Amino acid sequence: MHKKESRWAAEVTLQIQFYDLDPMEIVWHGNYVKYMEQARCTLLDSIGYNYVEMKESGYAWPVIDLHLRYVQSATFGQHIRVQASIVAWENSLKIDYLISDSVSGRRLTKGSTTQVAVAIATRELCFTSPAILFEKLGIPAP
């Protein structure tokens, strides 16, 4: 799936819709972020810590960094696979993504997001991930 294997991974398969295309009839570059978000939500659901649970635990997790590397464009009607893997969690939540053609497996786009915990009550940035994330990942907090 990715160079860095992760025990926390999920994927979604999507079909490219007409409304995601730009005037050149390929997927507009900004829509890849939406596809990554869909895979990220599936991944977070799998560990029981999606945005509702984050809020209930007292933390917001804003995206502070986003990287994308476009390799080949997706087109109307194409089925794509979007894979998401948690690759870092101690000080921030880093997720790597791989978007590929679901039939051929050909890589289209890869990327990553980094999110940090912010205490909702105080709006203060946490410099280490809170214990709830480690609990949801099923590993001991440092």
For the chain, list the domains and their CATH numbers. 9-137 (3.10.129.10)
Mean pLDDT, rounded, of the chain: 95
Is the pLDDT at 1 greater than 50, yes or no?
no
Task: List Cβ neighbours of 126 (8 Å cut-off, separation of 6 or more).
Answer: 59, 116, 117, 118, 119
Rg value, the chain, Cα: 16
Percent of the chain clearing pLDDT 90 (strictly above): 94
pTM for the model stands at 0.93
> Checking phi first, is residue 133 left (phi over 0); if not, alpha (psi -120 to 50) or beta?
alpha
The mean per-residue pLDDT over the stretch 82-111 comes to: 97
Give the pLDDT of residue 6: 80
pLDDT band at 4 (very low <50, low <70, confident <90, very high): low
Residue 98 above 90 pLDDT?
Answer: yes
Distance between CA atoms of residues 126 and 99, nearest Å: 30
Is pLDDT at 31 greater than 60 in this prediction? yes
